[in-house]
């Protein structure tokens, strides 16, 4: 098991049990008096939960407590957890922790509760000299994505559709200078410099869950890469 890429064996620890639960889903609906059927509204999908039991060993309680303290210091912010025996990465926020003594003074158990979701390794779709493409999104949650645009020549205006309800328009593209529209971090850059002023969009790019996506580009003179990590309940 790893937390933020750190193997927990560094702290003389071992993953014991894992309990992953999906988020509670309550359909948001209202049955108005006199209406033949209820009206359904958008249902917000919330965090799921993860419960972990981790065994710590040491020469005594002082050593073990220090191991646990160092381990917990990894999780002061949102954490990426690679669980033994599970595919993907659990992205979660620590909600509570509890140290449980055992009958043996050289072993303690740490109980952890997280709220979060599961995500897979990044998927990259690449399109060279195309003006349209079709692909199916993996996962059961909407996923933010990153769009890389590499112009083959100077282009005054380049439009992209299929990553939200409205087109994304980027202006003043220069040959060989990559533009990155980052839906994960909320940035638009060209060669590392801010280019948000040349971008027109209502929302950062996102891919809808379990959907066949049709994306279109206004010119074939750009090579486009789409990066996203499938997200699961």
Residue 67's φ and ψ, nearest 5 degrees, are: -60, -50
Q: Quote the CA–CA distance of 33 and 56 in Å, as a whole number.
A: 59
Q: What pLDDT is stored for residue 197 in this prediction?
A: 95
The number of residues in the chain equals 233
Beta bridge partners of 143: 207
Q: What's the pLDDT at 23?
A: 86
DSSP label at residue 207 = E
Rg over alpha carbons for the chain, rounded to the nearest Å, is 23
Intra-chain end-to-end CA distance of the chain, in Å = 21
Which positions of the chain have pLDDT values less than 50?
Answer: none
Q: Domains of the chain (ranges plus CATH)?
A: 2-119 (2.40.30.200), 123-232 (2.60.120.860)
If you ran DSSP here, which 8-state letter would residue 141 be given?
Answer: B
pTM: 0.80
pLDDT at 96: 96
Q: How far apart are CA 111 and CA 117, in angstroms?
A: 19
Looking at residue 107, its pLDDT comes to 95
């Amino acid at each position: 098991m790893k937390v933020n890429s750190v193997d927990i064996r560094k702290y003389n620890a071992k993953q014991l049990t894992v309990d992953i639960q999906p988020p509670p889903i309550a359909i948001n609906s209202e049955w108005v008096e006199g209406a033949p059927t209820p009206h359904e509204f958008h249902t917000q999908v919330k965090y799921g939960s993860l419960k972990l039991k981790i065994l710590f060993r040491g020469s005594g309680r002082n050593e073990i407590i220090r191991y646990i303290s160092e381990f917990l210091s990894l999780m002061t912010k949102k954490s990426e957890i690679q669980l033994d025996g599970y595919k993907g990465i659990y992205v979660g926020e620590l909600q509570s922790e509890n140290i449980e003594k055992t009958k043996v003074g050289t072993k303690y158990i740490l109980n952890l509760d997280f709220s979060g979701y599961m995500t897979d390794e990044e998927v990259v779709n690449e399109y060279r000299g195309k003006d349209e493409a079709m692909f199916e999104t993996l996962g059961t949650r909407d996923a933010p994505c990153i769009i890389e645009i590499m112009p083959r020549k100077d282009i005054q205006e380049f439009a992209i559709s299929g990553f939200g309800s409205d087109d994304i328009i980027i202006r003043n593209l220069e040959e060989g200078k990559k533009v990155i529209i980052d839906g994960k971090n909320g940035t638009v850059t060209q060669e590392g410099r801010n280019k948000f002023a040349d971008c027109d969009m209502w929302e950062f790019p996102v891919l809808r869950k379990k959907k066949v996506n049709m994306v279109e580009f206004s010119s074939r003179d750009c090579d486009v890469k789409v990066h996203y990590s499938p997200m699961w309940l």
